[in-house]
Amino acid sequence: MWAGGVAAMRGPDMRGPDGAVLVWEEVSIRYGSCRVVDGVSLAVHSGELVALTGPNGSGKSTLLSVAAGVREADAGRVLVRGLERKADPVAYARQVGWSPQQCGLYDELTVEENLRFFGRLQGLGGNRLHQNLQRVMGQLGLGSRRRQRVGTLSGGWKQRVNIAAALVHNPSVLLLDEPTSGLDAESRERLLADISRLRDEGCAVVLATHQGDEVAAVADRVAQLHKGRLGESARDPSRQPSISPPLLLYGQLRHPPPRFLLRLVRQRLPHGVELELIGRRLRLRAETAESLGYALAELLREGVAFESYRTVASSAARLA
């Protein structure tokens, strides 16, 4: 899991239903007379990345804010490692890392100074704080930027620092609200690769986004919110498109191919075919089976080696 055996600092290995680390149980939330979250139940396990998707206003940020302890649910409950926040707010907060859409970083402070500040807010100090700072800067590639003022960083680097601040106390659960919003394609790719590694190292990650296809290549599951209800848009036939949905191919590569090779393959792809690569995870999107097959053949022709791959229709892809 985390380097240096710091996983032991996460506390007793208490779990919710079915061994889940994070559980929403029939959670409902109101703003005045408007119910923005309506009876949502969802469980997330260690080493799992769940993408929480849906249009703006569907309740994604609100659902995360309840799990982060920023606000209370009007009905239902949230458990982290089997613990409700109201039972022990301090212990609960130690298990949750929260990275909101609006960065709470201080532009005039350096990267390391920001992380040290947020670590102290979590009660860390001395050698433990030092070790956690080294760990989290290593995980997100911030070592070379540690003495740079946050106000001088690009959007992608700021998001890395924002996530590092959420991880500095070594939580079991990481909540990310629109972490790729406003980033260019290359920055999004790098950030999603970092988030994937955090998942692979054992963290339970929930990533809220209104761009579901963007994170489908890295998410283990996609949970769709529509008007505050989980999966409603997928279950209601009246909302399904009347034409055949695009096809998606998800592949796990043996080795990441060179960037120049990807550029070459992209130049040969038929119109409408999209190719994305994040680490060793590849995603192809095409309108027809013929164009998808052509794109796959081009990759194989150039020596791209797959460990595995599968195809799905995008409207049904990896729904929770």
Q: Are strands 274-278 and 281-286 parallel, antiparallel or unpaired?
A: antiparallel
Phi then psi for residue 258, to 5 deg, are -60, 150
Distance in angstroms (rounded) separating the CA atoms of residues 176 and 293:
35
Distance in angstroms (rounded) separating the CA atoms of residues 171 and 7:
9
Residues paired with 167 in a beta bridge: none
Are 214 and 306 in a shared domain? no
Instruction: Identify the residue with better confidence: 187 or 48.
Output: 48
For the cut 60, the answer to whether the pLDDT of residue 242 exceeds it is no
Quick one: average pLDDT of 296-315? 77
Q: What is the pLDDT of residue 173?
A: 97
Q: What is the pLDDT of residue 17?
A: 52
DSSP state letters, 166-220: HHTT--SEEEEESTTTT--HHHHHHHHHHHHHHHHTT-EEEEEES-HHHHHTT-S
Are 153 and 250 in a shared domain? no
Lowest mean pLDDT across 73-77, 148-152, 295-299 = 295-299
Q: CATH number for the domain including 135?
A: 3.40.50.300
Is the pTM value of this prediction over 0.75? no
Q: Is residue 42 part of a domain?
A: yes
Q: Structural domain of residue 247, as residue ranges?
A: 243-315
DSSP letter, residue 279: T
Quick one: average pLDDT of 210-229? 80
Quickly tell me which residue has 């590092």 as its tokens.
Answer: 164
245, exposed or middle or buried, with CB in 10 Å at 0-12, 13-18, 19+? Answer: middle
Are 251 and 230 in a shared domain? no
Are 210 and 259 in a shared domain? no
Q: Is residue 320 part of a domain?
A: no
Are 231 and 255 in a shared domain? no
Are 266 and 231 in a shared domain? no
Last residue of a domain, one of 187, 205, 237: 237
Take residue 217 and report the two structure tokens written for it: 């290549």
Quickly tell me which residue has 């119910």 as its tokens.
Answer: 35
Are 226 and 286 in a shared domain? no
Are 141 and 255 in a shared domain? no
First to last CA, the chain: 25
Distance in angstroms (rounded) separating the CA atoms of residues 59 and 225:
7
Are 89 and 219 in a shared domain? yes
Q: Is residue 48 part of a domain?
A: yes
With bands split at pLDDT 50, 70 and 90, how would you rate the model's confidence at 234? Answer: very low
Listed in sequence order, the residues at least 6 apart from 209 whose beta carbon sits closer than 8 Å to its beta carbon are 51, 52, 53, 60, 178, 179, 180, 181, 215
Are 7 and 88 in a shared domain? yes
Last residue of a domain, one of 220, 237, 254: 237
Kindly report the average pLDDT of the chain as a whole number: 82
With bands split at pLDDT 50, 70 and 90, how would you rate the model's confidence at 313? Answer: low
Are 60 and 93 in a shared domain? yes
Quickly tell me which residue has 């532009």 as its tokens.
Answer: 107
Q: Is residue 264 part of a domain?
A: yes
Distance in angstroms (rounded) separating the CA atoms of residues 44 and 23:
6
With bands split at pLDDT 50, 70 and 90, how would you rate the model's confidence at 319? Answer: very low
At 6-56, the pLDDT tens digits run 333 344 445 455 678 999 999 999 888 888 899 999 999 998 999 998 888
Quick one: average pLDDT of 217-240? 64
Distance in angstroms (rounded) separating the CA atoms of residues 72 and 69:
7
Q: CATH number for the domain including 282?
A: 3.30.70.980
Q: Coil, strand, or helix at residue 17?
A: helix
Q: Is residue 208 part of a domain?
A: yes
DSSP letter, residue 305: P
For the cut 70, the answer to whether the pLDDT of residue 244 exceeds it is no
Last residue of a domain, one of 184, 211, 237: 237
For the cut 50, the answer to whether the pLDDT of residue 138 exceeds it is yes
36 — alpha (psi -120 to 50), left (phi > 0) or beta?
alpha
Q: What percent of the chain has pLDDT over 70?
A: 86
Give the total number of structural domains in the chain: 2
Are 26 and 94 in a shared domain? yes
Q: For residue 136, which amino acid is it?
A: V
Take residue 250 and report the two structure tokens written for it: 């998800």
At 58-67, the pLDDT tens digits run 889 999 999 9
Q: Is residue 210 part of a domain?
A: yes
